[in-house]
Amino acid sequence: MENIYILGIESSCDETAASVVKNGTEIVSNVVASQIESHKRFGGVVPEIASRHHVEQITVVIEEALKQANIQPADLNAVCVTEGPGLVGALLIGINAAKAFSFAHGLPLIGVHHIAGHIYANALVQPMKFPLLALVVSGGHTELVLMKEDGNFELIGETRDDAAGEAYDKVARVLNIPYPGGPQIDRLAHESDGEVDFPRVWLEPDSYDFSFSGLKSAVINYKHNADQRGEVINPMHVAKGFQDSVVEVLTAKTLRAARQYNVKQVIAAGGVSANKGLRDALTATFNKEGIPFYVPPLKLCTDNAAMIAAAGTSMFKAGKRSDLTLNGRPGLEL
């Protein structure tokens, strides 16, 4: 079979990214322009600023991705772009660039779900085996997704309030750690010599849903109470207590789902899967269980366009195509 070369474009949040992927498994180029520095002083992503950066960066990253891949537009098979979910203004910039590129070069256009992208980041590391269970944990998502076969997604659990990454970032703010606080909390937790005991939120016994707002409030209350008593909290102990609660619940629910659905592979995806505490816990749990567990390297866990190209390749092979009416869909379902 002939090789398939896909250009992926991602602009759903605060990274402007473009990538060329071969056969859905091999990264030829992977360019990411991060805006984190610009959002830091606001403590989170400011949509208006994100859009402005995307406008400035989008053609630069696309040209750079093609240059690094040493490929001409005519040698591509399709252009794949994140359709949603995400910030609508941010999504539209990637989508319009993808539409223009596909129109100018006569290439098929394919809209890709951002979470499908995070899951297919794993295809860039090793072959995906089905049925597969994916724990998707990012700044906007906490989901357990069952894939019975390629291209088939079943949402079996999701957060009822805050996403895991959102909880990390909010707890970080309480501890005066700049955005995005996830990596810092992870580091503090690892260096800690003690921990504050925070609650685990399990919801109904048979539920695969998650809830993190109660835990977040517990951390905020702990800090307020200490402030009122004039006491100084130990940020390491707070970070460790918070992280242990998040990791224990995520790991236990993922294990229960993996058993119930008898999966052949478990993968973690999304920005929070960069978390060392979570990686270690999932690795140990599934080693013991005898189910192969994978998590992509850090660079592929956070937002990038190679994952969009990888998911797009599966859609391309399945004959899926979008047309020029493709629109940004902030609440797009998997």
Identify which of residues 181 and 312 has a Cβ nearer to ligand KG4 in the complex.
181
Binding site, residues? 114, 118, 136-140, 169, 182, 186, 275, 303
Q: Is 303 in the site for Zn ion (CB under 5 A)?
A: yes
Identify which of residues 39 and 99 has a Cβ nearer to ligand KG4 in the complex.
39
**Minimum distance between the CB of residue 207 and ligand KG4, rounded to whole angstroms?**
23
- How many other CB atoms are there within 10 angstroms of residue 73's CB atom? 15
| Interacting residues toward ligand KG4 by CB under 6 A | 13, 138-140, 165, 168-169, 180-183, 186, 270-272, 274-275, 302-303
Which residues are within 8 A (CB) of 20 and not within 5 positions of it... i.e. 6 or more apart? 5, 6, 7, 8, 27, 28, 29, 65, 66, 68, 69, 71, 76, 309
The interface partner of residue 107, options being ligand KG4, Zn ion, none and the CB cut-off 5 to 8 Å by kind, is none
**Minimum distance between the CB of residue 279 and Zn ion, rounded to whole angstroms?**
17
Residue 88 has φ and ψ, to the nearest 5°, of: -60, -45
Residue among 115, 153, 117, 154 nearest 136 (CA): 115
Stretch that binds Zn ion, among 15-23, 41-49, 190-198, 299-307 (CB under 5 A): 299-307
Query: With contacts defined by CB under 5 A, how many residues of the chain interact with Zn ion?
Result: 2
**Minimum distance between the CB of residue 271 and ligand KG4, rounded to whole angstroms?**
2
**Minimum distance between the CB of residue 279 and ligand KG4, rounded to whole angstroms?**
9
Q: How far apart are CA 13 and CA 140, in angstroms?
A: 10
Q: How far apart are CA 221 and CA 216, in angstroms?
A: 9
The interface partner of residue 169, options being ligand KG4, Zn ion, none and the CB cut-off 5 to 8 Å by kind, is ligand KG4
Q: How far apart are CA 89 and CA 79, in angstroms?
A: 20
Task: Please tell me whether the peptide bond between 180 and the residue prior to it is cis, using omega within 30 degrees of 0.
Answer: yes
Counted residue by residue, the chain has a size of 334
Residues that bind Zn ion (CB under 5 A): 138, 303
